[in-house]
Amino acid sequence: MDLFARLTRLGHEQVVFWQDEASGLRAIVAIHNTTLGPALGGTRMYPYATEAEALDDVLRLARAMTYKSAAAGLDLGGGKAVIIGDPHQKSEQLLRAYGRCVESLGGRYITTTDVGTRTEDLDIIARETRYVVGRPPASGGSGDTSILTGKTVFLGMHAAAQVALGVQTLRGLSVAIQGAGKVGWHVMEHLATEGATLIVSDIDAEQARRAAQHFGARLVGVESIYDVECDIFSPNALGGVLNARTIPRLRCRIVCGGANNQLETPEDADRLAERGILYAPDFVVNCGGVINVAEELAGYNAERAAARAAAVFDTTLRILAMAERMKVNPAVAAERYAEERIAAIAALHRSYIPGSPR
């Protein structure tokens, strides 16, 4: 594997491999871009089949975080970490060993939760590092990042529905929710309140059943979710679910969800466009979590976080209009939108002002 050539192609600045024999920790931290500020991104713990699979995931996720923070108007770069292992086998020793890894980066990377980690885990990690956000409110943190993520996904749906369907409300629309975990649950709360019709699926059959019962949703199988007729398909689980195999099966007008890296390849955005399906770029609409934890860096203020999150509606509209104007798919437009902000700030930082944060 020509790792340096790969990092150059993807634009990453730094990748750190960290192992601790005593605790069994095997972790990879990827820092993609720090032009706007320190890299912020969650820590994912997952039983990857191979180390190469773990590396692929962390590189993709770190890059997405750069674009997410830039599009959200945050002064933060993009990074991500993965711990290779079963999240049900976490230990204090392993989490503290990982905290030492984060601390060794001296603030270039700030971590929070992701798949396989919880806010309570951050309290343990924080015993070894200062660079943790998203801790429980009792520990001075902002708490569960999925709450605001659910809100920004909902706002993204509103913007997409206005563009694709010409409607100002989601009432009466049918939405297929793939993944009834934390983010999917909060998305369903907003949709149910507005009067949307819900269809739900999850690999955890019991979680899917609870969601169906709680929200009065129609329950379908894990594979069947791609085939249901609906107005909006909402991926809220793991990434890579939109690909050459699944896109031809979709029977929707809009794709908008909270999962990261929903497209398996860049070409999948074109596949959606060719089918007349409007794609609300994932890193634009699922930024509520990073907005929430970023507020901790300046002293957490819930009203300020909510106000910044509310801007996602206008940002989504702006990017969808940009895609139409430039005759490109929304994924390309969203990346260009973020890249333009990064380039503008990079130009600003070419000159040094004594006493400035940079």
Active site (catalytic) residues: 80
Q: Which residues contact 344 (CB under 8 A, 6 or more apart)?
A: none
Tokens coding 69: 């923070």
- Could you tell me the strand order of the sheet in which 14-20 lies? 14-20, 25-33, 77-84, 39-46, 109-113
Buried b (16+ CB within 10 A) or exposed e, 128-152: bbebbbbbeeeeebbbbbbbbbbbb
Residue 168: phi and psi, rounded to 5, are -105, 0
Tokens coding 143: 């708490």
CA distance linking residue 96 with residue 198, whole number of Å: 41
CB 186 within 8 A of CB 147: yes
CA distance linking residue 113 with residue 96, whole number of Å: 15
Instruction: Find the radius of gyration of the CA atoms of the chain.
Output: 20
Q: Which residues contact 122 (CB under 8 A, 6 or more apart)?
A: 111, 112, 113, 132, 134, 135, 136, 139, 141
CA distance linking residue 8 with residue 164, whole number of Å: 37
Q: Write down the residue that tokens 């507020």 correspond to.
A: 295
Through-space distance between the first and last CA atoms of the chain, rounded to whole angstroms: 35
In terms of C-beta density within 10 A (0-12 exposed, 13-18 middle, 19 or more buried), how is residue 33 classed? buried
